Amino acid sequence: MTDFQDIDLTVNGARVRRRVAARQHLADFLRDELELTGTHLGCEHGICGACTVRLDRVIVRGCLVLAVQADGGTVETVEGLSDMGALKDLQEEFLARYAAQCGFCTPGMLITAHALLDGPGPVTRAAIRDHLSGNLCRCTGYQAIVDAVEAVARRRGR
């Protein structure tokens, strides 16, 4: 349980080298080692989706991936994706529609929605609800989030 391993990865465009506990999950690594606290932990058993980040361009649950599994990989968090402008239109629509209340699910929700908008599939309301159904929001009741994602899809010509 105290085994350590060296990892070398890219996080939000910057190279990061660290020695980490083998058991440390990616979300704890991002939060505790790199102070990227925009990645939140709501359950730590893979249900709530608050810890969603991108690993090698695919969305993953940060609590179900070990930091050592990201060795050699590329990780993007809400901080990096915001700085890149990748979430800009989603953030605008979330703001306009009050789709972020307490904000705890929000980074994971944005990154999950971004994956749908970036993907090949159709972006209907039903598809949005289905795609987001692994992300728990306790505040909004989801409708404003669905509206926001749908508005971005229209803006992007999807």
Partner 1 sequence: MAGEMPADLFGAASPIGKRQPRTESRRLLRGRGRYIGDIRLPRMLHLAFVRSPYAHARIGAIDAAAALAMPGVVRVVTGRDLVPVTTPFVGVAAHRAGHKSAPQPAMAVEKAVWQGEPVAAVLAETRAEAEDAAELVVVEWEELPPVVTAEDALAKGAIHDALGDNLAFQHTIKAGDADAAFAAAAVVVEHTFRFDRQTGLALEPRGIIADWDPGAESLTVHQSHQSPYQMLDIYAVHLGIPDHKIRVIAPDIGGGFGTKINVYGEELAVCAISRLVGRPVRYLADRLESFVSDTHAREHALTARLAVAADGTITAMELDDLGAVGAYGMHRRFSVAEGMMAITMAGAPYAFANYKARTRTVYNNKTQVGMFRGVGMPFACVTTEVLIDKAAARLGLDPVDMRLRNFRTKASFPCVAPCGAKIDDASFHACLDKLIALMDYRRIRAAQKAWSDPRTLRGIGIATFIEQTAYGPPYYGPGKARISVQDGCTLRLEASGQVRCITSVTDQGQGTLTGLRQIIAAALGVGYDDIEVLAGDSAISPYGGGAWASRGMAIGGEAALKAAIALRDNILAVAGAITQREPSALSLRNGHVIDAATGREIIPLAEVGHIGYFRQDTLPKDTVVEFAVTRNHVDNNVMYYTANGVQGTHVEIDRETGFVTVLGHWAVDDCGRVINPLLVDEQVKGGIVQGLGATLYEHCVYDEAGQLQNGTLADYLVPMAGEMPDIAVGHIETPETATRLGAKGVGEAGLIGAMGAMWSAVNDALRGIGGSIEHQPFTPERILAAIARAKG
The footprint of partner 1 (CB under 8 A) covers 1-2, 21, 23-24, 31, 36-45, 47-48, 50, 77-79, 82, 87, 91, 94-98, 100-107, 110, 128-130, 132-146
Question: For residues 7 and 147, which CB has a smaller minimum distance to partner 1 in the complex?
Answer: 147
Per DSSP, 8 falls in state E
Residue 129 beta carbon to partner 1: minimum distance, rounded to whole angstroms = 5
- Looking at the DSSP bridge assignments, the partners of residue 16 are 9
Please name the amino acid found at residue 5. Q
Tell which residue, 102, 152, 112, 107, has the closest CA to residue 132: 112
Nearest residue (CB) to partner 1, 117 versus 132: 132
What's the distance, CA 71 to chain centroid? Answer: 18
Q: Minimum CB separation from partner 1 for residue 24, in Å?
A: 8
Alpha carbons 41 and 70: distance in angstroms, whole number: 18
Considering the complex, state which of residue 57 and residue 84 has its C-beta at the smaller distance from partner 1: 84
